Amino acid sequence: MKAVIMAGGMGTRLRPLTDNMPKPMVPIHGRPAMEYAVMLLKRHGITDIAVTLCYHPKMIMNYFGDGSRFGVHFEYFIEKEPLGTAGSVKQAQEFLDETFLAISGDGITDIHLGKIINFHQKKQAMVTMALTWVEDPTQFGIVITDEDGRIRRFIEKPKPEQVFTNTINAGIYVIEPDVFTYVPDGFYDFSKQLFPRLMTENMPFYGVQAKGYWKDIGTIEQYNQVHVDIKNGKLNHDYKEAM
């Protein structure tokens, strides 16, 4: 299986940390955030990886190179202008010619990817979304599934009065390449455009609860909390000996 790391974000809420570096390069215990995603993929045997870039792309390319020193292989796809999450991934369409996993380059997690992949294959889904639970879901996409796991309701960044669950989109997806027929050229977003379309057209769009640590580093407070959590051993990762 192949993967794509979405690493084009500017991280405006993390300023001033991201004034001169892309969000996936902000340091977490001395290593770029994206490095944790790379090692998570490698742990699950996924080593053929596309990386979508936009903001300060050379910083990421210069650090990670072709991926060989991390035991993986990278292909880079650079947006000349922002294309949205789905639009940026579509740039890598020729590379992503089989079932693939999409993951954010700036989330910190130890979620078991194999369980999500197995669920996706069992359901013969077009897209399977990893789900997790948070105390405040207003900065994320909230999700309700039916008993079979099919996604029935999805709202991106709901207002407090719209919150109907604390289960959210963890930003990790297993995707069939057929999905690209639903993604037009240009700017297109997974959460705001593609996912609602899949639900409207009753495509096999599923969600599965993912167990394990997951933390977005979208704000300075969340960024600081990740450091505390890692120090306290809450993340199962590949760098424990270096902490």
pLDDT, tens digit (0-9, with 9 covering 90-100), for 23-69: 888 888 888 989 999 999 999 999 999 999 988 899 999 999 999 99
Amino acid identity, residue 82?
P
Task: Say what the pLDDT of residue 13 is.
Answer: 66
Could you tell me if 168 and 139 are in contact, meaning their C-beta atoms sit under 8 angstroms apart?
no
Strands, E assignment, the chain = 2-6, 27-28, 31-32, 48-53, 73-78, 100-104, 107-109, 127-133, 141-145, 151-156, 167-175, 205-209, 214-216
Task: Say what the pLDDT of residue 238 is.
Answer: 64
Provide the 3-class DSSP secondary structure of residue 6. Answer: strand
Domain 2-129+169-188+200-232 belongs in CATH node 3.30.429.10: no
* Mean pLDDT score, 179-191: 93
What's the rounded Cα separation, in Å, for the pair 139 and 162?
A: 12
Task: Say what the pLDDT of residue 218 is.
Answer: 76
Structure tokens at 196: 């609602």
Higher pLDDT, 9 or 111: 111
Least confident of 103-112, 195-204, 218-227: 218-227
Instruction: Name the residue ranges covered by the structural domains of the chain.
Output: 2-129+169-188+200-232
Structure tokens at 163: 């919150």
Could you tell me if 243 and 189 are in contact, meaning their C-beta atoms sit under 8 angstroms apart?
no
Query: Average pLDDT over the chain, rounded to whole?
Result: 88
Burial label for 243, CB within 10 Å (0-12, 13-18, 19+), is exposed
Task: Say what the pLDDT of residue 242 is.
Answer: 34
Least confident of 101-110, 151-160, 191-200: 151-160
Could you tell me if 26 and 33 are in contact, meaning their C-beta atoms sit under 8 angstroms apart?
yes
What's the rounded Cα separation, in Å, for the pair 122 and 206?
A: 11
Give yes or no for residue 178 having a pLDDT over 90: yes
Burial label for 211, CB within 10 Å (0-12, 13-18, 19+), is exposed
